Structure 1
Amino acid sequence: MLSPQWLDQLRTRITLSALIGRSVRLIRAGREFKACCPFHNEKSPSFTVNDEKGFYHCFGCGAHGDAIRWMTDHQGLEFMDAVKELAAEAGMDVPAPDPRAAKQAEQRASLHDVMAAAQEWFVANLEGEGGKAARDYLATRGFDAATVRKFGFGFAPDERQSLKAALARFPEPMLIEAGLRIAVEGRDPYDRFRGRLMLPIQDVRGRAIAFGGRILAKDKTDAPKYLNSPDTPLFDKGRTLYNLHRAAPAARQSGRMVVVEGYMDVVALAAAGIEEAVAPLGTALTEEQIELLWRQVETPVLCLDGDAAGQRAAMRAVTRALPMLRPSHSLRIARLPEGLDPDDLVKKKGPEALRTLLGEAQSLLDVLWVQERDGASLATPEDKAGLKARLMAHVDAIADSDIASLYRRELLDRYSAFAFPPRPDRRQSNFAPRRGGRDFEKPRPPSSPESLGRLRRASQGSARDALSAAVLAGLIRWPLEIDRHADALARTPALDPRFGRLLDCCDAAMTLESGQLSTILAEHGLEGPDPAEYAGLRFGFLDPDADPAQAAQDLSRALELLVERPVLEAALADATERFESDLSEEAFEEQQRLLKRKLEFDRRLRHMATRNAAVP
């Protein structure tokens, strides 16, 4: 008996397009290959081969399979002959038969027989006299007879021993192992599902491997509304998606896979014509289920409730997916209006309203930013620093270095725009709201020459010059970064005039190299920064041999400091001026708080300018 793990390894070692290409003329179409289907006559190609997902599919006749299926269905080999031929090509040894594995396979086959018999019995009960309450409930949900048959709805009588009697041909231990009966020490076993509308949970081949049951009696408030089978040799709820065997073919045609919260939502969507929906089974979306989704489409859509529980589910999905992200593979999240489930939305506004909602689903990055930004108070600088720390902790969880770098850039850009918005020019008005309650305070006299001098010295100190020169040199060395940081630079007051020329170049939509930028500065009477200007700051992005991705990341962090500093220094100058004017305790505490922030800022700058340093 060959293990599923060994067969999966065999499939991954075979390039499917190369295998099929030996007998079919394939034409590349993006990430896939196309051809006229070898299983039926056609004039235009509808047969596709996807190496990444490891399957072929014909949209005309429905032929579908992997490398082994190709060898059996197209080449006419028996299963073991196909496996042996592919294993020889892949350089793998076919394992010797394992008696224990064979026994386990035989046991699984027997449990499949049990589940099939239970499903037939549940369906018969629904159609009989005792199933009237279940049929009435299905009518209230608007499910027609075709939908009921398609999804295999059934009914479990509200009795403790009726299933055992109906499946008497199977031994009691097998019914218990299949999850249909419950064994309790010191008591007789009893049926797990009683007085419930039943729905089979099926594997990718459409075989019943578990059941879900919805309670019908309204007076049983102590019983769970929905009850699923426990994990069994056939069923692992963390590795199973409800309705995947039906949704996968539909997703290949629509290019979309929708994940909803429960199996009744799946049925409701299918009844409305949206057949590419699946659902987890009583758990948050697991890593294994995300991988199952990615085998079908690159960016499945999670359709979640718009309430607080839905927001928590969204963040659970985000944190599960971040370490797994890889190029072109992610999740999108659609939020339902609060108080509505997919069935409610379809009934009130029609299927097109749900399709529109799915089309407007947010990216994983957007959800992460909004949830962290709005999830806690951001009234103080410490709160805002906490937001940044949480965002960067999420970024650190991403295993793919390229994706992590791109997430870091985008989130830092959003954080900078949020935490350091442009300050209004207070000189335009001599009036400002008073905190205490009166509408306006008396006009304030303009700042004294001494105060303006302090502010000017704070914004023109040697440290500021050095940082500006270093960032300027970094942008000249990595000119593709200019456009990405143009907005942040444009909002920053009192910058070195050479930054303005770089932004002009960016506005002119030029594609420039470092040498051209130096020439343009010279033409306007400006020179590029001399290394002596930033000799005390040895940033990694100044190294000619620096890795481009790491250099861009370091440059982004240095520029963030450059943008933050004038805001901090201006606030410190204002606080100092207020303290000198009224000598109040409040003004002194504000000045001291900002002084501590300035010291912390200087510490961060020193740390960044010496970590992974390059000698200029």
Structure 2
Amino acid sequence: MAGKIPRQFIDDLLARTDIVELIDNRIGLKKAGKDYQACCPFHNEKSPSFTVSRDKQFYHCFGCGANGNAISFLMEYDKLEFVDAIEELAGQFSLEIPREQGLGGPQRSFEEKKSDYDLMQQTARFYQQRLNQHQKSAEVKAYIAGRGLSQQTIDKFQMGFAPPEWDQLIRTLARNPAQRQQLVELKLATEKSPGRQFDFFRDRLMFPIRDKRGRVIAFGGRVMGQDQGPKYLNSPETRIFHKSFELYGFYEAKQAHRQLAQVLIVEGYMDVVALSEYGIDYAVAALGTATTAEHMQTLFRNTDQVICCYDGDRAGKDAAWRALEHALPNLKDGKSLRFVFLPDGEDPDSLVQKEGKDAFEQRLKDAEDYSKVLFSRLSEQCDLTTDAGKAKLLSEALPLIEKVPSEYYQESLLSTLARLIGRTREQLSAKLATPRKQHTIERKFKVTPMRRAIGLLLQHPSLASVVEHLPELAELPLPGMRLFLTLQATCLSRPDYTTAHILEAFRDTPEYSALNKLATWQHNIDEEKLIDEFKNTFQFIEDQCLNLRLETLLIKDKTEGLNSDERLECALLTQALGARRTGQK
């Protein structure tokens, strides 16, 4: 993707979006004073603690702490990536997303992108129609029935049939050379020689692949007989399809569950579809590739429990190991990774048909924890009866353990490793490249005068103009001073900014977390008293700055001596602080 999305475009998009309308369309809101309320969509509750402010263009849940602007809501509720959320908002206003100059090819317009997705959806409908309106329809439907799939499941996954003719899709959808070229670029057709195109998929059961927003972006095709080429044929990568980021069945699983309690990773399209037929509607499959780091990142953002289901042979064990390695950086507190290895000759499709839903889900309940799989794999390669074997296990296990972000999980893994090699957990903890500080209780976020000033300014950007902007104060080593001045300058330059705009500007900065907390801080100050409260807080901070500068000069006077300008400054500071203390102007 070439270039970043310009900040100005994101600001304008947030200004166009009414967060109340956006959220109301998804969960329903009720007026509560000047704000709006609902039961929080991010955790279970009986009485509403989720509030949405039209003035701030900001939402906050007092129960679970979820908060943010319109972009954040789409990312959390619709489970979209940042860019996808921007595209979703832009699409509501038919806006083309500009890009700053960067690496990559020329950018495509909104209409060009829309045309690609429209063509993919037309192709999916074409395959669905051929499933019902082709001379081989009866044969294909008999195959589907033999696989135990109902019409409901066929419709849910938009399954279809690619006819065996060489160019039926092209002749149906391409009305001119440009459309033929678009089919080739989206890998729906193949060009063997200039001007001669052929359908990419022929005589296969078709599985549309949908992205997180439900748009068809690619296809998978399965043969229905013997000697018909590879069992599965997947769309090659295109400008709208990148297989390492997408999971088959993920969109359908999200549609079936507002909150995914668990996700099961299997290997094939038919496994996902067959499991759904039996009510196991939370399975996904990688698209002709091993489970990637991006796949794991997506899954753990959407669920707390991931179960990987693989064959019990060496290939299955290798696939499980790759998945485990990619999952380790996502194992935060509360996240779970487990593995199921199937009997020889079985796959999820065949097994669920043999033993039914309850027995299959019992296998999932009995799944092995990732830690057992990790040490089982590493121990296979080490002779733990020798010092050399123990040293090898230590050297291979520690780098993997360091990838785990959860302090609790790290300690558990270290305890297991210590037991295997005859050491103590404390000895192994000292060997970690980045030892962790032990915190049993998180420090309370204390509202200091500086945080108070920043919080008030963040929630009420119009306050920026009621006190003087003094950029020279940034030179003083007062914690938070630079951030306050940056916020004030931002608000002065953009009087139209809301809380939502300011937070978006700081999304990828170290200050974002603290600002998020201050954006939801309940200051309980009456509106008519806000200006006086802010002025008084700023004066207190200004006094701190003056005192700090005076102390610096006095220390220098004792150690090095002051020049004439510094002596004058010292006298003026002493006079000014004295006047403030006595209440004189």
Matched, 1:145 2:190: no
Q: Does 1:248 align with 2:248?
A: no
Count of aligned positions: 398
SS at match of 1:238: coil
Does the 8 A contact of 1:27 with 1:35 survive in 2?
Answer: yes
Which one-letter code corresponds to 2:321 in the other structure?
A: M
Indicate whether 1:296 and 2:302 are aligned.
yes
Contact 1:55–1:67 (Cα < 8 Å) also in 2: no
Distance (whole Å) between structure 2 residues aligned to residue 251 and residue 163 of structure 1: 34
Which of 178, 188, 207 aligns to 1:180? It is 188
Does residue 161 (structure 1) correspond to residue 161 (structure 2)? The answer is: no
Alpha-carbon distance, 1:383 to partner? 3.2
Q: Which residue of 2 aligns with 1:331?
A: 337
Q: Match of 1:597?
A: none
Deviation for aligned residue 1:269? 0.8
Could you tell me which runs of 5 or more consecutive residues in structure 2 were left unpaired when the two chains were aligned.
Answer: 24-28, 52-60, 440-585
CA distance in 2, matches of 1:198, 1:80: 31
Residue type of the alignment partner of 1:209: I
Displacement after TM superposition at 1:291 (Å): 1.6
- The residue type paired with residue 303 of structure 2 is V
Counterpart in the other structure of 2:327:
321
Q: Which amino acid aligns with 2:351?
A: L
- The one-letter code matched in structure 1 to 2:407 is D
Q: Which amino acid aligns with 1:342?
A: P
CA contact (8 A) 1:332 1:363 kept: yes
Tell me, what secondary structure is at the counterpart of 1:234? coil
Choose the corresponding residue for 2:286, options 280, 285, 298. Answer: 280
Structure 1 residues 367, 216: closer, same or farther in 2, change over 3 A?
Answer: same
Q: How far off is 1:160 after superposition? A: 2.1
Contact 1:54 / 1:66 at 8 angstroms: preserved in 2? no
State the Cα deviation string for residues 133-186 of structure 1 (Å, max 9, x = none): 322221111001221122111111222222211213252110101110112456
Instruction: Say whether the 8 Å CA contact 2:162–2:204 is kept in structure 1.
Output: yes
Residue in structure 2 matched with residue 475 of structure 1 by the alignment: none
Q: Distance in 1 between matches of 2:285 and 2:306?
A: 12
Q: Which residue of 2 aligns with 1:416?
A: 421
Q: CA 1:184–1:37 in 2, change beyond 3 Å: closer, same or farther? A: farther
Equivalent residue number for residue 142 of structure 2: 136
Partner of 1:110: 115
Q: Is the 8 A contact 1:33 1:49 kept in 2?
A: no
Measure, in 2, the Cα distance between the counterparts of 1:392 and 1:145: 51
Q: Secondary structure at the match of 2:118?
A: helix
Q: Which residue number corresponds to residue 198 of structure 2?
A: 190
Instruction: Provide the residue aligned with 1:457 in structure 2.
Output: none
TM-score norm. by structure 2 comes to 0.57
* Whole-Å separation in 1 of the counterparts to 2:5 and 2:371: 35
User: AA paired with 1:136?
Assistant: A
Residue 130 of structure 1 and its aligned partner are, at CA, apart by 2.3
Instruction: Summarize the alignment of residues 174-573 of structure 1 with structure 2, pairs less than 5 Å apart.
Output: 174-184=182-192, 188-220=196-228, 223-253=229-259, 255-375=261-381, 380-396=386-402, 398=403, 400=405, 402=407, 405-406=410-411, 409-416=414-421
Q: Does the aligned pair in 1 maintain the 2:121–2:216 contact within 8 Å?
A: yes
Contact (CA 8 Å) 2:40, 2:49: kept in 1 or not?
no
Give the structure 2 partner of residue 91 of structure 1: none
Q: Cα deviation per residue 1:25-79 (whole Å; 9 max; x = unaligned)?
A: 578999777754999xxxxx9x998559954899xxxx968899xx99xxxxx95
Candidates 16, 23, 26, aligned match of 2:35: 23
| Cα distance in 2 for residues equivalent to 1:147 and 1:256 | 21
Q: CA deviation at 1:2?
A: 11
The answer to whether the 8 Å contact 1:303/1:333 transfers is yes
CA RMSD between the two structures: 4.8
d(CA) in 2 for partners of 1:204, 1:315: 26
Could you tell me the TM-score, scaled by structure 1's length? Answer: 0.55
The CA deviation string for residues 269-301 of structure 1, in whole angstroms up to 9 with x for no partner, is 110001111111011111211121122112221
User: Could you say if the C-alpha distance between residues 121 and 379 of structure 1 is closer, same or farther in structure 2, counting changes exceeding 3 Å?
Assistant: same
Q: 1:257 to 1:399 in 2, by over 3 A?
A: closer
Determine the C-alpha separation between the residues in 2 that align with 1:185 and 1:33: 62
* Aligned residue number for residue 509 of structure 2: none
CA distance in 2, matches of 1:252, 1:348: 30
Give, as a single letter, the amino acid of the residue that structure 1 aligns with 2:112: Q
What secondary structure is seen at the aligned counterpart in 1 of 2:187? Answer: coil
* Distance across 2 between alignment mates of 1:66 and 1:155: 30
Q: Higher RCO, 1 or 2 (CA under 8 Å, sep at least 6)?
A: 2
Structure 1: runs of 5 or more not aligned: 40-44, 73-77, 84-93, 421-470, 472-480, 486-538, 551-616
- Whether the aligned pair in 2 keeps the contact of 1:285 and 1:317 (CA below 8 Å) is yes
Query: Residues 246 and 286 of structure 2 are in contact (CA less than 8 Å); yes or no, is this contact kept in structure 1?
Result: yes
Deviation, 1:112, is 1.4
Quote how far apart the aligned CAs of 1:193 are.
0.6
3-state SS of paired residue (2:220): strand
C-alpha displacement of 1:6: 7.0
After superposition, the C-alpha distances for 1:77-102 in whole angstroms (9 at most, x for unaligned) are x957999xxxxxxxxxx997879987
1:421-462 Cα shifts (integer Å, max 9, x gaps): xxxxxxxxxxxxxxxxxxxxxxxxxxxxxxxxxxxxxxxxxx
Shift of 1:211: 0.7
Aligned mates of 2:406, 2:259 — CA distance in 1: 32
Worse overlay, 29-38 or 148-157: 29-38
**399-408 or 182-191: which moved more?**
399-408
SS of residue in 2 equivalent to 1:314: helix
Describe the SS at the equivalent of 1:303. Answer: strand
Q: For 1:193, what is the secondary structure of its paired residue?
A: coil
Distance 1:216 1:340 in 2: 19
Residue type of the partner of 1:301?
Answer: I
| Distance in 1 of aligned mates of 2:111 and 2:92 | 22
Distance 1:251 1:149, change over 3 A: closer
> Cα offset for 1:198?
0.9
Distance 2:90 2:222 in 1: 43
Q: In structure 2, how many angstroms separate the alpha carbons of the residues matched to 1:147 and 1:110?
A: 28
- Output the amino acid matched with 1:259: I
Matches within 5 A, 1:21-100: 23-25=35-37, 35-36=47-48, 50-51=66-67, 54-55=72-73
The change in CA–CA distance for 1:137 and 1:112 in structure 2 (over 3 A counts) is same
Please say if residues 322 and 394 of structure 1, whose CA atoms lie closer than 8 Å, have aligned partners that are also in contact.
Answer: yes
Evaluate the alpha carbon distance shift between residue 213 and residue 28 of structure 1 in structure 2; reply closer, same or farther with a 3 A threshold. closer
* C-alpha distance in structure 2 between counterparts of 1:218 and 1:104, whole Å: 44
CA contact (8 A) 2:332 2:406 kept: no
C-alpha contact 1:321 1:330 (8 A) present in aligned 2: no
| Distance in 1 (alpha carbons) for counterparts of 2:92 and 2:174 | 40
Secondary structure in 1 aligned to 2:419?
Answer: helix
Could you tell me how far 1:328 is from its partner in structure 2? 3.0
Look up the equivalent residue of 2:155 and give its one-letter code: R
Equivalent residue letter for 1:120: R
SS at match of 1:268: helix
SS at match of 1:179: coil
State the structure with more CA Rg.
1
Q: CA deviation at 1:314?
A: 0.9
How far, CA to CA, are the matches of 1:322 and 1:329 in structure 2? 10
